[in-house]
Structure 1
Amino acid sequence: MSSELMDSFCLLRLTVTLLPLLNPCLTRLTPRVSFPMGSPGRRLTCFSSHDLSNTTTLLLSADGEKLYVGARDAVLLLDVGHKDTVLLRSKLDWSPSEKDLEECSMKGKKMADCPNFIRVLQFFNSTHMYVCGTFAFSPRCAYINSETLTMSLNTDEGRGRCPYDPYQRNTAIIVGEELYTGTVADYRGNRPVISRHLSEGSRVDLKLDDTLGWLEDPTFISSKFIPHEEKIYFFFSEVGREYNFVDKFIVSRVSQICMSDVGGQRTLQRRWTTFAKAQLLCQDGSELPYNVIQDIDLLPPAEGTSVDDILFYGIFTSQWAVNSGRSAVCSFTLTEIKSIFSGNYKVLNRDTLQWSARVQEKVANPGECGLHNASDNALRFVKENFLAEDSVRPAGRRLTLVSREHIYSHLTVQRVQAANKKLYTVLFLLTESGHLHKAVLLRQGPYIIEEVQVFKPPQPIRSLMLSIPKVQTEAYSVYFQIFFSSNFG
C-alpha cells in the first residue's frame, strides 16, 4: 500500500452513441476506434492532491452532484456537478495515533500498511454516512455528517464490519439503517463472515455459525439488495470443497440472506437461518470454466417487464494456464438464481468435511425466509444443507463475451435506446492496463464500439462508478459520467 506517488481521481464525461448504421449482425472484439488520452470528446477531468492516496472507495449522492471518496487516513467530499472541473468541498482527516501505529508495527506489520484505509463508505440515512477503516489493523467505524464531514464523538469497533488488512477485499451495504457486510472478523484473516450490524429493537445482529464449511477462504466481490425479494445477495469466490478431487479449486458463488431473519430461538441463535449459497458457472459447453469472479454489476429490468427480469453481469478470469491472459463476461438472471435456491441441496458431513448429495428426508427449505420460527430439527437441517446442488448457469447457456487480448478488472452496465427505438445493453469494461472499452451487445454477439485511454502511462484502475444524473437523447445519444480512481503506489 505504498503512497510514494499521489493518487489521481478522474471523471470522464462520455456520450454513448449507438450508431444508426450499426449492423445488428456484426460482432467485433477489437475496438472499432481507439482514442488516446486527451482526445476531443473524450477528455478527462481529474482531481489529485499530494497527500491523497489509496482512493479505493467511492460513494455518489443520489443527484450525482457530490462524490465521497474513501482514501488513506481521509474522507473527501468532491463537487462533480461542474462541466470541466472537480472541486474539493471538504476533507475529513481520520488517522491512527502514533501509539496505534507503534502497536501495529510491533505486531509485525509493515508501517506502510498501518494507516487507516477507508473500506466501508455507505449512506446511513439522509444526513449521515457510516464509514469504517482498517485503522492500524484495529478497524474502527463512525457516523459522519454527509454535508459537513464532521465525525461523531464515539467510534464503533469495526470487527466483522471492516477488514483488518488493507489488502483484503470486502463488501458492505446499508439497507434500512442496518449494515450487511462480507469481510473477515479476526486479525489474521482466518475467520470470514457475512453478518448484519446496527440492528435495533426486536432485531438482532446476526452472523454465520462458527462451525466449519459456511465459507472457505472467500474473496468478497460485491453485495446487492433486491427490494421486492427483501434479500441481500453476496458475490464472492472461494475454495470449492465439493470438488475434493482438485486441490484448491476456486469457484465463484452467489449467496443470499433474508432481511427478515432474526436467528433461531434455540438452534442458530443470533445466526443466519436463511443463508444459502450456489456456484456461479461461467462456462461454455465442456470447456474449462472461467471460475474466478472479479467484478459484478446489476442491470434492472426494462420498463414494463417483470421485476424478476434482473440481470447480473460479471467479469471472470481462470485459474487454469490454458486461459491465462483471458477474461470472460457472463450474465445471470435473477429467475435462474431463485430457481437454483429453490431446488435441492448438498449435505455436509461434519466429521469428514465432505459434501454429498442429500439422501435423507427434506424437513425444511434452505434459504427460505421465515425460518426463525422453525423447529430445532428444521434449523439443524438448514445448518447442514446450505450449498445448492445445481449451479447457476449463464443466461442463454453461453458466455456474453470472451477476450483473448485483455484482462478486464471492472465493469458497469446500462440499457440504452438506439436510433431504431430498440433497447441495447452497453457494457463499460476496464482493462488491467487502464483502458476503457465500450461494448454493445448485439444479437450475434458483442461489438466493442471504442476504446478510451484513461491514464498515461497505462496503469490499473482501482474503482469504477457509472452515473447518469442527466439523461439526454439528442441524436440517439446518452450522456454518462464515469468515475475512476487510480492508486499509483
Structure 2
Amino acid sequence: MAFCGLPAVCLSLITIISGCHGNAIPRITFPLDSPGRVVSIFSPPDVYNATTLLLSKDEETLFVGARNTLLSLRVNEWGGLILNRTLDWSPTEKDLSDCSMKGKEKTDCPNFVRVLQVLNSTHMYACGTFAFSPRCTYINSQQFSLVTGGKPEEGRGRCPYNPYQKNTAITVGGELYTGTVADYRGNRPVISRHLSDGGHVDLKLDDTLGWLDEPTFISSASIPSEEKVYFFFSEIGREYDFIDKFTVSRIAQVCTSDNGGQRTLQRRWTTFTKAQLLCQASGELPYNVLQDMTTLQPAGGATEGDTLFYGIFSSQWSVNAGRSAVCVFSLRDIKEVFAGSYKFLNKDTLKWTTRVQEKITNPGECGLHNASDNVLRFVKENFLADKSVLPVNQKLTMVSSDHHYSNIAAQRVQTDNDKEYTVLYLLTETGFLHKAVLLEEGVHIIEEIQVLTRPQLVKNLLLSISKGVVLVGSAEGVVSVPVSNCSYYSSCAECVLARDPFCGWDPSRRVCAVISSIEGSFLQDVDGGLVCGECEECRAPVITPRSRSGSGTGSPKSPAPPGELVSVSLNEVVHLQCPAVSHLAQRHWERQNSQISLKIYMQHEDGSLSFLATPSTLGGYLCKAEENGFTQTLIAFEVRQKSSPTLQPVTPSRPQVTQSSETRQAPTTKWVTMLQDREETPKPKAKELQPTMSVRETQAVTANRNVSENKQDRLKVGVAGGEHQLLAKTPSYLQELVVVSVLLALCISALLTIALFNVRQRCRSRTAPHSPGSQRAGAASPQEREALRGNSPSGGKRNGHANNTAKSPNTLSNGTLNGSNGHLPNTPI
C-alpha cells in the first residue's frame, strides 16, 4: 500500500492534493417525467420501502421485499411492471408492543424484508427484521405463498435486527451465505453459512480477535468454478497505526466445501482469508470506503480469471469529500494476492507484522478442514493478506467530484463490428441514474435520468439484460428504466454524438434505432463520435433545435427557417434564449455580416444572449453549438423594431420631433425663441431653442452627436395642439453679483478706515503734550480702542448691538461701522 508505515503523525503530514482526473459530465439530463425519457414507476399506495429485489432465472418475474409485504411482478419487454401476487408478512400486535418496549421508534418496528433468495426450482427463502426480532420463512415460488405448518425460523445471524444496518446474502447450492450482525446491539459481526445440506454443517467465524473489526457489509458473489464465495465490506484497518480510525475496503473469501476443523476450528471457517481493496491513484490519498460492488462475468471464450468486480468508493479524507471513484478489480489479481504472504497479529502488542518464518500452508486454500491442528492454528493466526489488491492497470476507472454514487451495475454490449463495450449504470444519492460507457480515453456519460424524487439511504440496483431494463428499488417504489432510448436522437449527427453502443443510425429508414433491430449496415462511432466521418449533416448542416423538455422541435430533413421574429423597441434590453442539446457542446452566437462584440453583447452561462436594442443591433442572430468538431445551428432569430404610431426611429443626422396625432403630418417643425428680461440688466440676445424629443430619442441623439456644450441653456419646448409652450427659462445672476460687489466694497472700506485711524492716533500721541494724572484731549477711551480692535466692551453685545446706549453711532461692531446709512464716517486726520 502507498501509505507510510509511520505513527499517526504521518497522516497529518500528508498534504498531497488529489490529482486531476477526467471529471465526466453527463451529456444529456432528463428530469423526472420528461417526455424525452419515459420510465415506469410501480408505487402502489399500500406498498412502502421496496428495497430488496430478486429476478427469477428467466428474468420474467421480479420478486420484491418491502415493508410487511412480499410482491411478485411481471416484467414485460418495455420494462413495464405488472403486479401478479402480494403476500402480507406483518408482525403481530404483541411483536410491535415488545418492540416499543425496547425503546424503538414505531416506524422502525415493522417487518422490513432484507433477505430474498432462490433456494431451488420450487422454493425461495426470505428473512426480515420483524420488529427487531429477525424471522425467516420459506416461500412457494410457483404459487407465491408462505409455506405454513411450521414455526417461522429465527433469523439471528441471517438478517440484521435494525432495518438501517447493511447486510448481504447469497445462495449457492441451496445453502445460504450471509454477512450481517448476530446480536441486538449490532456489535457481533459474522460471516456464516446456513441451511447446510449434503453432509455440510452450518459454519461461522471464530471469535479470534481481528477477524472482523466493525464491518459494513456491502455485497457478495459466487464463482462456481472456484468453489468460493467472496464478500465485500469496509472495516477498521488495525494494521495502520493512526490516531483516528482508518477505514479500509476488504474482500474476503470462503470455500463452499469448507466443513470446519476436527478439533481446532470446529464449526468454524478454516478457509476464511481477507485482503484490502486499494482504490487509489499514484501519489494520491485512497478512496477507502466501499459503497457498492457488482460482478461482471467474463465474455464468451474467456476464463474465470477474467471476471471483473466494479466497485464504487468514497473517501474519509476532507480533501476528497463529496467525490466518488469507480475502480475495477480482476479475479486473477485477487487470487494472486490470496496466494501470497500473510500478516501476523501479535496478541501482546496488537500489532500486525509480516511473518518471516517458514510458511506452513497457504491460508484460504480449499480442503483445509481436513488438515492437522498445527496447520489450522497457523490458518487461525494468518488470515490477513500482506499485499493489497490493486485496480486493473493500477488506475481509477472514473472519478466524479459532482456526484456521490451509491449503487452500480454493469454489462457488456457487443456492436456489429464484434467490438465490445462496458456500460455502467451508476445511481447517485440525489436520485439520478447515470449511464456511462468505458472508452480507451476515459469514461463518457451518455445520459442521466432522474428516477427518485428525494435522496434515499437504502436502495437496490438490478439489471435485467434479457428485458433491457434497469430496476431501482427504493422507499418510493420500484422504477424500471430502459437501457437505451435511441429514438430520442432525431438526426444522424445526434445519434453519432451520443456515442451510445446500443444505438446506430439507419440510413435506409433515416432513424436512430437499436442496432439489433437494424437490417444491414448502420452508422455509429462510439470511440470517436466523429460526425463528419459518418453523417451527411457535416456537409449540409441544418437546424435541429430541441426544447427544454427534451423532445425535438424541428425536423432535420427540413431546410433552415428564416428565424423566429422578435419585435423590440429601441433602447430595450433583448434576451435571446438558446436551447441546450448537450452539456458537452460549446454554444456561441453569430450575426450575418457582423461580429458579436463583448462591449455590446453579453452571453450568459445558460447560453442566452443579452444586448441593448439599437439601430446597429437589429437584424438576424444564429445560435450554434460545437461538439467534438461538429458545428450545428440550434436556433435563429430575427430582431426587428416595433412599428409604433407615436414613435419614429431616430437617426444621428436628423433628429425627429415628437408630435401629437393632429400635427404629425405638418411639413415643417416650428421653432421658438425667447428673450430674457432682468431688472437693471441688459437684455440678452435671444437664443434658438432645440425641438422637444422623447427621452429615448434625446439619449440617442446625444450619444450619436456627443452634444455636451451649454446644457444649462438648452430649452425644452412641448408640443400640444400645434402650439409650442415655454417650459424653462435661462437663469440670471445679476442681483447676486451686485450684492456681492457691495459687500466686498464695504469690507475694503472698513479695512482702510481702521488703518487710517490707527495712523492718526499714533501721530497725535507723538506731538500732544502729556499731563500727569489726566487724559489728553481727544484721546480714545478704552471702550473705543476695544471696538477698533473688533472686541466687545465689557458690557458685551446682544444680537450684534452694543449694550451701552451712550455709545457713538459710529462705533465699530464686529469689525464694521455701524453708521446711519452704512457709509464711512467723515473723520479728519
**How much does 1:307 deviate?**
2.0
1:484 to 472, 494, 505: 472
2:54 to 56, 59, 66: 59
Matching residue of 2:346: 349
Q: State the secondary structure of the residue aligned to 1:228.
A: helix
- Which amino acid in the other structure matches residue 474 of structure 2? S
Matching residue of 2:92: 97
How many percent identity over aligned positions? 65
Matching residue of 1:266: 263
- Which amino acid in the other structure matches residue 181 of structure 2? V
Can you list the C-alpha shifts for 1:304-356, whole angstroms capped at 9, x where unaligned?
A: 22221011000000011111110000000000000000000001122333211
Matching residue of 1:18: none
Output aligned runs, 1:47-196, within 5 Å.
47-81=42-76, 83=78, 85-153=80-148, 154=150, 155-196=152-193
Matching residue of 1:448: 445
Q: 1:301 to 1:380 in 2, by over 3 A?
A: same
Can you list the C-alpha shifts for 1:275-316, whole angstroms capped at 9, x where unaligned?
A: 000000000012000000101111111112222101100000
**How much does 1:41 deviate?**
5.6
> How many angstroms apart in 2 are the aligned matches of 1:254 and 1:246?
24
> How many angstroms apart in 2 are the aligned matches of 1:164 and 1:60?
25
Unaligned runs of 5+ in 2: 1-21, 478-829
- Which amino acid in the other structure matches residue 68 of structure 1? F
TM-score normalised by structure 2 residue count: 0.54
Matching residue of 2:206: 209
Contact 1:145 1:151 in 2 (8 A): yes
Output aligned runs, 1:421-432, within 5 Å.
421-432=418-429
Matching residue of 2:328: 331
> How many angstroms apart in 1 are the aligned matches of 2:44 and 2:280?
43
- Which amino acid in the other structure matches residue 64 of structure 2? V
> How many angstroms apart in 1 are the aligned matches of 2:454 and 2:203?
46
2:406 to 402, 405, 409: 409
TM-score normalised by structure 1 residue count: 0.90
Q: Does 1:35 align with 2:23?
A: no
- Which amino acid in the other structure matches residue 26 of structure 2? P
> How many angstroms apart in 2 are the aligned matches of 1:451 and 1:115?
34
Can you list the C-alpha shifts for 1:17-71, whole angstroms capped at 9, x where unaligned?
A: xxxxxxxxxx771112222233446211111122211111000112222111001
**How much does 1:217 deviate?**
0.5
Contact 2:262 2:369 in 1 (8 A): yes
Q: Does 1:321 align with 2:318?
A: yes
> How many angstroms apart in 2 are the aligned matches of 1:368 and 1:129?
31
2:286 to 274, 286, 289: 289
- Which amino acid in the other structure matches residue 280 of structure 2? Q
> How many angstroms apart in 2 are the aligned matches of 1:85 and 1:329?
30
> How many angstroms apart in 1 are the aligned matches of 2:456 and 2:93?
33
Can you list the C-alpha shifts for 1:174-222, whole angstroms capped at 9, x where unaligned?
A: 1111000000011110100000001135210000001221000100000
> How many angstroms apart in 1 are the aligned matches of 2:465 and 2:458?
20
Contact 1:29 1:447 in 2 (8 A): yes
Can you list the C-alpha shifts for 1:245-266, whole angstroms capped at 9, x where unaligned?
A: 2421000000000001000000
> How many angstroms apart in 2 are the aligned matches of 1:107 and 1:32?
50
Matching residue of 1:302: 299
**How much does 1:458 deviate?**
6.8
Moved more, 37-46 or 404-413: 37-46
Q: Does 1:232 align with 2:220?
A: no
State the structure with more CA Rg: 2
**How much does 1:488 deviate?**
4.5
Q: State the secondary structure of the residue aligned to 2:170.
A: strand
> How many angstroms apart in 2 are the aligned matches of 1:390 and 1:485?
36
Matching residue of 2:594: none
> How many angstroms apart in 1 are the aligned matches of 2:146 and 2:474?
26
Q: Does 1:400 align with 2:397?
A: yes
> How many angstroms apart in 2 are the aligned matches of 1:461 and 1:190?
21
Moved more, 266-275 or 453-462: 453-462
In angstroms, what is the RMSD of aligned CA positions?
1.6
Figure out how many residues of one structure are paired with residues of the other and give that number.
Answer: 454
> How many angstroms apart in 2 are the aligned matches of 1:28 and 1:383?
44
Contact 1:347 1:357 in 2 (8 A): yes
> How many angstroms apart in 2 are the aligned matches of 1:42 and 1:96?
40
- Which amino acid in the other structure matches residue 486 of structure 1? S
1:464 to 461, 464, 483: 461
Q: State the secondary structure of the residue aligned to 2:40.
A: strand
> How many angstroms apart in 1 are the aligned matches of 2:476 and 2:318?
29
Contact 1:28 1:447 in 2 (8 A): no
> How many angstroms apart in 2 are the aligned matches of 1:456 and 1:184?
31
Unaligned runs of 5+ in 1: 1-26, 471-479
> How many angstroms apart in 1 are the aligned matches of 2:296 and 2:147?
36
Q: 1:370 to 1:460 in 2, by over 3 A?
A: closer
Can you list the C-alpha shifts for 1:98-155, whole angstroms capped at 9, x where unaligned?
A: 1111111111211211111100000011011000001111111111011222112222
